[in-house]
Chains A and B, each alone.
Chain A
Amino acid sequence: MEFFGEVNIDWLGKKWYFLGFSLIFSVAGLISLLFWHHLPLGVDFKGGTLIYLKFEQAPNYARLQSAADRAGLHDVNIVRFGHPEDHEVIFSLPQRETKETSLDAPREAIVRTLQQNYMHNGAANDGKLDLDNATKGSLTDFLTKTDPLHLANPAVEEIQYPQIADTILNYRDKVKDGLIGSFSELNGKVEPGVVSALQQGAYLSGFTVRNTEIVGPQVGAQLRQKAIFATLYSLAGMLVYLWFRFELIYGVAAVVAVFHDTLITVGAFSLTNREMTLTVVAAILTLIGYSMNDTIVVFDRVRENLKLMRRVALSDLVNKSINQTLSRTVLTSGLTFLTVLSLFLFGGEVLKGFSFALVIGILIGTYSSIAVAAPMLVAYQDWRSKRGKVATLPAGKKAKA
């Protein structure tokens, strides 16, 4: 089975269409970055507090907002997270309310307020153990104090109750995704005495903290710097490697193509109002590598053909090289795209930004090898011949086939 047999498309002839296409997207991205959405920064880079909460039932945003107000946090942003059936919510507080001397304060305040004010029978349950938010330590303490199995022997209690706590918590976290509906669900998993002790002495607040990220202002600035340096070093490294394996112009053309890809991808984040986090930067660095790959495959073929076909005009030769590698290019991009698409669809919320960057990056990376790097090579060549210099594109330092 073959998608592309003998192909003969004039790629370089279409270069003005490509340029137009690239310009539209680059400029749109730039305008959005500068004037519209700018670049939304994740908590990694701008600092602040993010608290991810999951609720048993659909959360009432107005009541959540007033609960936050009562906790003394007035600048809270409450948004829905993930699929609606998951009932997940993010509380985000800006960096101002996140002081380094008491990083934990906002989170503690929110959890306490929700326990008291938001959930049913909040006030009545004050002092009891909240099984939805219990840690292994607090659950074991509860069991040891109430001693539902009447062990009355501290040495035995020290062994038995932590194990029972483990069973309950594993059920809560791994099977039930963090929230238990009612105590009766534990019947059959632990002894009946334990279940009735819980029914009397504990309650279920109906919400749980899934994740918190608290980043002080110092760290945010450090990470921003690191991200920029990493990108610059990456580009420099590629340039050097390509200079070494080919010639400088190949390196420059490849770097320009990669720069174009990065700009469009970051622009896409701005246009779709998605946040830039550390993992997204990792994805961007990966797609830099990927786009280089693609460009190298074409350049390798160009180099080979330069030795074999000495009398062919450069633009024809480059066209031929692209056509020869087209099959491989489309296939590889297609396959990698399939895997990344799988990640985007099934990989969960945490990796959404990451997989989005890769999805866009792979498409644009493939496009740029044909539409940006190759034409640049030919353009440089034409420029050199116009200035009267030798009209053959250097084929590279190493005389290998």
Chain B
Amino acid sequence: MRKNLTGKTILIIAILLVFIGGITGIPNGFSPAALKQSITDRIHLGLDLSGGTHLILQVMVAEAVGSTTDSDLQRIITDLQTAGATGATATKPQPKTEPQIITITGVPLDKDDAVRSALEDQFSAQYAIQSGANNSYTLTMKPSVVRDIETRALDQSRETIYERINRLGVSEPVVEIYGPGTNEILVELPGIEDPGRVRDVIQSTARLEIHEVLGGPYPDQPGALQANGGTLPPNSELLKSDTGSDTGGQYYLLNRIPIVSGTEFRDAQPSVDVNGRPDVSFTLTTAGGDNFYKYTSANIGKSMAIVLDNTVREVATINGAIRDQGVIEGGGISKEEAQNLSLMLRTGALPASIHFLEERTIGPSLGADSIRHGVEAAVGGLLAVLIFMLIYYHSAGINADLALILNLVILLGFMGYVGATLTLPGIAGVILTIGMGVDSNVLIFERIREETRAGKSPAAAVDQGFAHAFQTIIDTHVTTIVSAAILFLFGTGPVKGFAVTLTFGLLANLFTAVFVSRVIFEAHLNRRQRGEPISIG
């Protein structure tokens, strides 16, 4: 019985063309060089094949919590003053290990009610307020609020890092949040072999703040303690000044709560001072400028310190009110360093500092080597399989070979369309697809042989062969795809590439081994006389 195969054949040829298009895109010409060019344009290479840098960073989100409680603490201090609660002090007992706790002590009895209602008005939404002995209060930030701040810090860090990397001019950078719940960010930069510069740009929080100077300069920490009666006043910190500048290496006692914080910087540009040496000029936001103006007009004659990443960069005396324009002295930095610094200030301060957990750099020569090896192995494996099928199954072997080649075309074309990344294990996945894909054909052919031996006619044998084998093919493919899915979920970049190519390859194989092979067989049967045996080795 002749079957009408025209429709099916057209479908197969159409699919073939569509997926070839996926591999090459729309080429500019048909010469080998133009085709090669369009293929390399389409296929997106993973880091292990193109060379580049891979980093995993962790954002210290607890610091962002600390910044928020710092500004809340400032408000409390101001409120206590306006309420006239003399003798009351507010501080964070453990600023580093428990940044979410603020304590208030020594509230005078007559002001107790006023203070309590003020606290509850302003802070009960975010803090749990507990009163303690001797008119003290403990405010603990609610866990949901803490989580909120941490998530926002993570997101903001990701955006800021992305901005900074973009301005370095990296093509196709990857900056994404990595792994659930670990506050990690993945950065992948193809083609960058100098991770040092990238790390410098990413890592510095460029946290610029202006603090009130309470005391100093002291030559060292014990000296500072001595000068202050053996202890440091509440809400203060002792910071070292930058050893690069003239008065370097000394300690200053600063008010821990800044006058102007990092988020209030609107712009920063590299410039030169009167001697032609590089420095950085900055502009504050309107709100920041207002605060700064208020502070500087009320504190003429006092000193303030410009602090960059917890190091005192310079100390200046307030000679007059300053609104929103200022300059950070370079202190001998190079032009490139000034540019880096302004870039970091401009693209926003990172809300928390960054630790590096992992770094891999693949040199471009290794990448090219890997491509070569991978392709050699793939071609070697493919040839071995193609030739074997011909020898063992004779004409039916041609059937299997055609199906296999179509399988690979669909696989690569699909990856081209979806924009999937090809990694070295991904190439191994293609090689495995060759081996496991041909398994489907083997299953079918062996069954056909069996049915023929049992005495069925060629057409019936082909029918039965496909019918019986189909169940098994589905089972085997599903179990492998389940493996691959788990690999995709748990694996890192290159391993994900392997899972992707294996899965697509097996899905394509379902189509080619079952549908396409069947069509080829039937076309073959159509040409023969009824009952004439087919060549299946």
Which residues of A does B touch, CB under 8 Å?
1-2, 52, 54, 100-101, 103-104, 108, 135-138, 169, 172-174, 176-178, 208-216, 218-219, 222-223, 226-227, 229-230, 233-234, 237-238, 241, 245, 278-279, 281-282, 285-286, 288-290, 292-293, 296-297, 300, 304, 324-325, 327-328, 331-332, 335-340, 342-343, 345-348, 350-351, 354-355, 358, 400-401
Report which residue of A213, A327, A339, A347 has the largest number of chain B beta carbons within 10 angstroms of its beta carbon.
A339
Q: Cβ of B475 and Cβ of A347 under 8 Å apart?
A: no
Complex A-B, nearest 9 residue pairs according to Cβ-Cβ distance, in ascending order: A348-B373, A178-B365, A336-B435, A289-B483, A339-B381, A230-B490, A342-B381, A339-B435, A293-B476
A interface footprint on B173-186 (CB within 8 Å = 1, 0 otherwise): 00000010010000
B5 contacts partner chain A, Cβ-Cβ < 8 Å: no
Q: How far is the CB of A202 from chain B (nearest CB, A)?
A: 17
B177-216 at interface with A (beta carbon < 8 Å): 179, 182, 191, 193-197, 199
Whether a CB of chain A sits under 8 angstroms from the CB of B388 is: yes
User: A173 near B363 (CB under 8 angstroms)?
Assistant: yes
Q: When chains A and B are docked, how far (Å) is the Cα of A300 from the Cα of B478?
A: 14
User: In the complex, what distance in Å separates the CA atom of A144 from the CA atom of B119?
Assistant: 63
Q: Which residues of B contact A324 (CB under 8 A)?
A: 450
Among A288, A292, A331, A343, which residue has its beta carbon within 8 angstroms of that of B392? A331
Q: Please state if A297 and B432 are interface contacts (CB–CB under 8 Å).
A: no
In the complex, the answer to whether A214 meets B498 with C-beta atoms within 8 Å is no
Known contacts A219-B56, A290-B436, A293-B479: A177-B365 contact under CB 8 Å = yes
Instruction: Answer whether A282 and B495 are a contact pair too, CB < 8 Å, given A215-B358, A331-B446.
Output: yes
Q: For chain B residues 6-65, which have a beta carbon within 8 Å of chain A?
A: 48, 51, 56, 58
B512 on the interface (CB 8 Å rule)? Answer: no
Residues of A near B424 (CB, < 8 A) are 350-351
Contact status B381-A338, CB under 8 Å: yes
Closest residue on chain B to residue A230 by CB atoms:
B490
CA distance A253 to B269 in the complex (A): 70
| Cβ contact within 8 Å between A339 and B490 | no
Docked-complex contact B482 and A289, CB < 8 angstroms: yes
* A209 to B489 Cα, complex, angstroms: 32
Nearest opposing residue in chain A for B383, CB measure? A342
A230 near B486: Cβ-Cβ < 8 Å: yes
Q: A234 to chain B: which residues have CB within 8 Å?
A: 482-483, 486
Whether B484 sits at the interface, judged by CB under 8 Å, is: yes
User: Cα distance A158–B154 when bound, in Å?
Assistant: 37
Scoring B residues 369 to 384 as 1 if CB is less than 8 Å from chain A, else 0, what string do you get?
A: 1101110111011101
- B425 to nearest A CB, angstroms? 6
Q: Considering only CB atoms, which chain A residue lies closest to B48 in the complex?
A: A350
Q: List 7 A-B contacts (CB under 8 A).
A: A210-B362, A219-B357, A227-B490, A241-B478, A288-B483, A296-B476, A339-B381
Contact of B365 with A338 in the complex, beta carbons under 8 Å: no
- State whether B362 touches A103 (Cβ < 8 A): no
Measured between beta carbons, the chain A residues less than 8 angstroms from B376 are 346-347
A304 to B471, CA, bound (A): 11
Q: Give the contacts of B371-429 with A (CB-CB under 8 A).
A: 372-374, 376-378, 380-382, 384-385, 388, 391-394, 424-425, 428
Residues of B within 8 A of A101 (CB): 355-356
- B254 contacts the other chain (Cβ, under 8 Å)? no
Contact, CB under 8 Å: B428 / A351: yes
A342 CB contacts on chain B under 8 angstroms: 377-378, 380-381, 384, 431
Find chain B residues with CB under 8 A from A337 CB: 435
Asked if B363 contacts A332 (CB within 8 A), the reply is no
Q: Knowing A282-B495, A296-B476, A297-B472, say if A241 contacts B385 (CB, 8 Å).
A: no
Query: Closest CB-CB distance, B47 to chain A, in whole Å?
Result: 11
Contact of A2 among B382, B449, B483 (CB under 8 A): B449
Tell whether B144 is near chain A: CB-to-CB under 8 Å. Answer: no
Q: How far is the CA of A231 from the CA of B380 in the complex (A)?
A: 31
B507 surroundings in chain A (CB, below 8 A): none
- Please choose the segment from B102-110, B277-285, B437-445 that sits at the chain A interface, where 4 or more of its residues have CB less than 8 A away: B437-445
Q: Is B148 an interface residue (CB 8 A)?
A: no
Q: Which residues of B contact A211 (CB under 8 A)?
A: 360-363, 366
Question: Which of B196, B369, B476, B537 sits near A108, CB closer than 8 Å?
Answer: B196
B363: which of A178, A214, A229 is its contact (CB, 8 Å)?
A178
| CB <8 Å contact, B357 and A173 | no
Is B232 in contact with chain A by the CB < 8 A criterion? Answer: no
Q: Is the CB of A216 within 8 A of B356?
A: yes
Instruction: Say yes or no: B475 contacts A245, CB within 8 Å.
Output: yes
Q: Residues of B contacting A296 with CB < 8 Å? A: 472, 475-476, 479
Q: Which residues of B contact A297 (CB under 8 A)?
A: 443, 472, 476
The reply to whether the CB of B97 lies closer than 8 angstroms to some CB of chain A is no
Bound form: Cα–Cα A353–B323 in Å: 64
B385 touching A335 by the CB < 8 A rule? yes
Query: When chains A and B are docked, how far (Å) is the Cα of A345 from the Cα of B359?
Result: 29
Give the residue name and chain of the A residue nearest to B385 (CB).
Answer: A335
Flag if B479 contacts A212 (CB, 8 Å): no
> Is B132 in the interface zone, CB < 8 Å from A?
no
**Pick the contact of B484 from A174, A278, A289, A335 — CB < 8 Å?**
A289
Q: Does B491 sit within 8 A of A, measured CB to CB? A: yes
**Chain A residues with Cβ under 8 A from B58's Cβ?**
218
- Contact status A173-B358, CB under 8 Å: no
Q: Which of A227, A289, A345 contacts B479 (CB 8 A)?
A: A289
Query: Given A328-B443, A343-B377 in contact, is the A214-B494 Cβ separation under 8 Å?
Result: no
Give Cα A108–Cα B376 distance, bound, in whole angstroms.
Answer: 34
Task: Given A282-B495, A290-B480, answer yes or no on A214-B366 (Cβ-Cβ < 8 Å).
Answer: no
Q: Is B370 touching A216 in the complex (CB atoms < 8 A)? A: no
The verdict on B516 contacting chain A, using a C-beta distance below 8 Å, is no
Question: Which residues of the other chain, B, contact A278 by a CB distance below 8 angstroms?
Answer: 491-492, 494-495
Taken together as a complex, chains A and B put the C-alpha atoms of A169 and B191 apart, in Å, by 12
Excluding A2-B449, A219-B357, A223-B492, 17 further A-B contacts by CB distance (< 8 Å) are: A1-B394, A104-B199, A137-B197, A172-B365, A211-B363, A219-B358, A229-B490, A230-B490, A279-B495, A289-B480, A289-B482, A327-B449, A332-B436, A335-B439, A340-B432, A346-B376, A348-B373
Known A226-B490, A324-B450: A347·B373 in contact at CB below 8 Å: yes
